[in-house]
């Protein structure tokens, strides 16, 4: 009888997937922003909406965690996963806001490439999180995590090349500073995606 009164598991995996959907929405809006800088403010607003929706999901997840006695995975892992996911969208929002505030008029090929890598990383985060409810799919989950790691390494290489070209060819110091900031934020998005992959790898290893 008492066991029936104990709050169990809850909707954690549904909440993870819902949050990941907002991450994907934000990353695709960022790609559109870079492709249409004349409409940057509009795309930035779409990202703001996704970030606010994701914040609510994060809040709901933490609230549910406090109310749930028995969780499907370790409590610290739940908290770490949702907060690291939230960091991804925060950085996407920071990048969009920076593009608007710095009045970036032309997106370099490197900025566009980094943005596409961010979008691919975020798509892969969503695919991985969606598999998490069934840990019997451990091989598929870990393969996705490896793909996120590979994409993050690709972003590192693009960033190094972008910085090299920027300091060799950009004569306008203000523009150099602006673009450097954008490049760093974009690469950091992939770092946070890798952090999420690392948390998920830990969950899989612990339950395998």
**pLDDT of res. 69:** 84
* All residues at 6 or more sequence positions from 114 whose CB lies less than 8 Å from its CB, including other chains: 155, 158, 159, 162, 183, 186, 187
CA distance 175 to 103: 10
Q: Which residues pair with 8 in a beta bridge?
A: 70
> What pLDDT shows up at residue 70?
87
Give the start-to-end residue ranges of the domains of the chain.
8-207
Using one digit for the tens of pLDDT, what is the confidence trace for 15-57? 999 999 999 999 999 999 999 999 999 999 999 999 999 999 9
Inter-residue contact 33 to 40 (CB < 8 Å): yes
Non-local CB neighbours of 89 within 8 Å, separated by 6+ positions = 22, 23, 26, 47, 50, 51, 54
Residue 29: the pLDDT is 98
Q: Burial code of 65-83, b = ≥16 C-beta within 10 A, e = fewer?
A: beebeebbbeeebbebbbe
Asked whether the beta carbons of 85 and 50 are under 8 A apart, the reply is: no
Q: Which of 99-103, 131-135, 189-193 has the lowest mean pLDDT?
A: 131-135
**In whole angstroms, how far apart are CA 126 and each of 41, 104, 189?**
26, 29, 14
pLDDT, tens digit, 9 for 90 and up, residues 68-103: 888 888 999 999 999 999 999 999 999 999 999 999
Third-level CATH fold of 8-207: Methane Monooxygenase Hydroxylase; Chain G, domain 1 (1.20.58)
SS3 assignment, position 104: coil
pLDDT at 9 over 70: no
């Amino acid at each position: 009888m008492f066991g029936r009164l104990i709050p169990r598991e809850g909707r954690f995996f549904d909440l993870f997937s819902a949050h990941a959907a907002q991450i994907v929405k934000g990353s695709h809006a960022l790609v559109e922003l870079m492709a249409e800088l004349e409409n940057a403010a509009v795309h930035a607003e779409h990202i703001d909406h996704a970030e606010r929706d994701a914040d609510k999901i994060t809040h709901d997840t933490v609230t549910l965690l406090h109310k749930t006695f028995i969780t499907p995975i370790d409590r610290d892992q739940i908290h770490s996963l949702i907060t690291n996911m939230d960091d991804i969208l925060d950085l996407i929002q920071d990048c969009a806001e920076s593009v608007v505030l710095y009045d970036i008029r032309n997106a370099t090929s490197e900025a566009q490439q980094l943005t596409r890598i961010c979008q691919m990383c975020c798509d892969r985060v969503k695919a991985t999180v969606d598999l998490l409810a069934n840990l019997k799919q451990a091989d598929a989950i870990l393969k996705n995590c490896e793909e996120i790691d590979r994409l993050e390494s690709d972003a590192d290489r693009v960033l190094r090349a972008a910085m090299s070209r920027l300091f060799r060819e950009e004569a306008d110091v203000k523009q150099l500073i602006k673009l450097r900031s954008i490049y760093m934020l974009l690469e950091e998005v992939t770092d946070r995606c890798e952090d999420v992959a690392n948390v998920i790898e830990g969950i899989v290893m612990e339950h395998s």
